[in-house]
Amino acid sequence: MNLEQLRSFVEVARFGNFTRAAEELHLAQPSLSRQIAALERDLGAELFHRARGGSTLTIAGESLLPLARRMLADAASVRRELAELAGLERGRVRLGATPTLCISLVAEVLSAFHAEHPAIELHLSEQGSHRLLDELASGELDLALITTSDATTPERFTVTPLLVEELVVVSAASAPPVARGRSIRLAEVASLPQIVFSSTYDLRSATDAAFAAAGLAPDVVLEGAEMDAVLRFAERGLGVAIVPAMVLIDRPGLRSVRLEAPTLTRSISLARPADVAPTAAVDVMQRTIAATATAFAARAGETMRLAR
């Protein structure tokens, strides 16, 4: 039994006539008759009383008719849903990102994606990289923008590097520059009042490791703040902070200066489960992220140049 046979059966039942049903289906009448005969053989029962004046349903045909209509409706529904998904008229993307990326790159990504595909449902998880990988592994996320990939393994995740971003020292634009030149040594930064992130931040681990490797103890004036608070405190002159260059976009109240070699950087990558094929919506989101990251990095570089 197949959908073509069921469709033929429903049309013959509707018209009570093989000739009219064949015309409606754009079939030759012998082809339609063969389909109905094959269906009857498969089911082991006659479905129509055939007479010169027309065809009427048997008891078996009357039992099959509502079921056939339901199966055809279900098949049409499946086709419609798949077409909608293929055309991104429906769907869902569950994206995870670190807090620093949520206030910078992710805002641009979601804005661009939603403008093109407003019907796609978006979910965002804001966590540290390690927690995001846990959520990815458990099936809670489709994609994760992470800043470290040391916890990944090839058999669990597909990780695509997007960009390497420089970390810079920011201070209030209204205050005198913290460095005379175009860069500042890490030892000089350690002697300045510093605003540092919460211990859950990947950036906090990176900067702590850099100071420790240099044998330095930073002068911390405030500890445990989230990214937006760190930037606001720095704008108001509470201290300096080491942040990713891209967060300077649309922050005219901040001035930035590069660190002297060795510079501090972070790698931003896109991770997804290796054993799950992406849906159409997730695939488009991946391309949107890659394109936006490239454009955003260029914009961040220009902003950093102007913020000195």
Class for the domain spanning 165-265: alpha beta
Residue-level pLDDT at 67: 93
CATH 1.10.1060.10 fits domain 3-86: no
Cα-based angle 296, 300, 304 (whole degrees, multiple of 5) = 175
Low-confidence ranges of the chain (pLDDT < 70): 81-86, 148-154, 299-308
Domain ranges of the chain: 3-86, 95-163+266-296, 165-265
pLDDT for res 34: 94
| pLDDT given for residue 81 in this prediction | 67
- Any bridge partners for residue 160, and if so which? 270
**Cα separation values, 186 from 105, 146, 161, 208, Å:** 27, 25, 27, 12
CA distances from 54 to 4, 39, 40, 160, 193 (A): 21, 19, 18, 65, 95
Across all residues in the chain, what is the average pLDDT? 88
Produce one character per residue of 249-278: b if its CB has 16 or more CB atoms within 10 Å, e if not.
bebeebbbbbbbeeebebebbbbbbeeeeb
Q: What is the CA radius of gyration of the chain?
A: 32
* pLDDT tens, position by position, 102-140: 888 899 899 999 998 898 999 999 998 889 999 998 889
What architecture does CATH give domain 95-163+266-296? 3-Layer(aba) Sandwich (3.40)
pTM: 0.67
Per CATH, 3-86 and 95-163+266-296 having the same topology is answered: no
CA distances from 208 to 113, 196, 233, 262 (A): 36, 9, 20, 15
